[in-house]
A and B are shown apart, each in its own frame.
Chain A
Amino acid sequence: MEITLQVNGKPRTVDVDPRMSLLDLLRERLGLIGAKKGCDHGQCGACTVLIDGRRALSCLALGVAVDGSEVTTVEGLANGDELHPLQAAFIEHDAFQCGYCTPGQLCSAAGMLGEPGPSAVTEDILVDPDLTPEEIRERMSGNLCRCGAYVNIVSAISEVAR
Chain B
Amino acid sequence: MNRIEGRVKVTGLATYAAEYPVEDVTYAFPVQSQIAKGRVRHVDAQDALAMPGVLAVLSGEDPPPLASGADGELALFQSREVAYRGQIVAAVVADTYENARAAAAVVRVDYDSDDHDVSLRADHPGLYKPDHVNPAYPTDSEKGDIEAGLAEAATVVDVVYETPVLHNNPMEPHAALACWDDEGGLLVYDTAQGTTLSRDTLAQVFGLPKERVRVVSRHVGGGFGSKGTTRPQAVLAAMAARVVGRPVKIVLTRQQMFDVTGYRTPTIQRLRLGADAQGRLTALEHVAYEQTSTLEEFAEQTATPTRIMYATPALRTAHRLVRLDVATPSWMRAPGECPGMYALESAMDELAYALGMDPVELRVVNEPETEPDSGLPFSSRNLVGCLREGARRFGWEHRDPTPGVRRDGEWLIGTGVAASTYPARRRPSKARAVVEDDGDFLVQVAAADIGTGARTALTRIAAEALGVAPERVHVELGDSDLPEAPVAGGSMGTASWGSAIVRACEELKSDGKEGLADTTEEVRGDAAFSRHAFGAQFVEVRVSSVTGEVRVPRLLGVFAAGRIVDPKLARSQFIGGMTMGMGMGLMEETLTDEEFGGFLRRDLAQYHVPACADVPDVEAVWLDERDAELNPMASKGIGEIGIVGTAAAIGNAVYHATGHRVRELPITPDKILMPRF
* Interface, chain A (partner B; CB < 8 A): 17, 19-20, 24, 27-28, 31-41, 43-44, 46, 73-75, 77-78, 83, 87, 90-92, 94, 96-103, 106, 121, 133-134, 136-138, 140-154
Contact = CB atoms under 8 A, between A and B. Distances in A.
Contact of A32 (B12, B97, B253): B12
Given A75-B12, A137-B612, A140-B612, A147 B576 contact: yes
Interface stretch (B119-127, B273-281, B312-320, B446-454): B446-454
B221 interface: yes
A102 B9 contact: yes
B604 A100 contact: no
Contact of B221 (A31, A75, A99): A99
B171 A101 contact: yes
Interface residues of B, number: 62
Interface in B1-32: 2-3, 5-7, 9-16, 18-19, 21
A46 B573 CA distance: 21
Given A41-B603, A100-B170, A148-B575, 7 more contacts: A33-B12, A97-B452, A99-B451, A138-B612, A144-B609, A146-B171, A150-B579
Contact of A150 (B452, B569, B577, B615): B615
Given A98-B171, A141-B612, A34 B251 contact: no
19 contacts: A31-B21, A33-B19, A35-B12, A36-B221, A38-B172, A38-B173, A38-B254, A39-B604, A41-B603, A43-B603, A43-B605, A83-B10, A96-B451, A106-B10, A136-B612, A137-B612, A146-B170, A146-B609, A150-B579
B610 A150 contact: yes
Interface string B438-450: 0000000000001
B12 A34 contact: yes
Contacts of B3: 91, 94, 96
A103 to B, nearest CB: 5
Nearest to B449: A98
B87 to A, nearest CB: 21
Contacts of B219: 98-99
B411 interface: no
B222 interface: yes
Contacts of B609: 144, 146
A66 B495 CA distance: 49
A64 to B, nearest CB: 12
A151 B618 contact: yes
B513 interface: no
Nearest to B97: A24
Contacts, number: 184
Contact of B222 (A35, A78, A146): A146
Given A33-B19, A144-B604, A150-B610, A39 B10 contact: no
Contact of A44 (B604, B615, B617): B604
A99 B636 CA distance: 24
B252 to A, nearest CB: 10
Nearest to B616: A137
Given A141-B612, A147-B451, A150-B612, A17 B10 contact: no
Contacts of B6: 90-91, 96
Contacts of A43: 254, 603-605
Contacts of B171: 36, 38, 44, 46, 98, 100-101, 144-147
Given A33-B19, A44-B171, A147-B451, A83 B11 contact: yes
B572 interface: yes
A90 B21 CA distance: 27
Nearest to A104: B171
B7 A83 contact: yes
A17 B98 contact: yes
A74 B11 contact: yes
A18 B33 CA distance: 29
B611 interface: yes
Given A33-B19, A106-B10, A151-B575, A100 B222 contact: yes
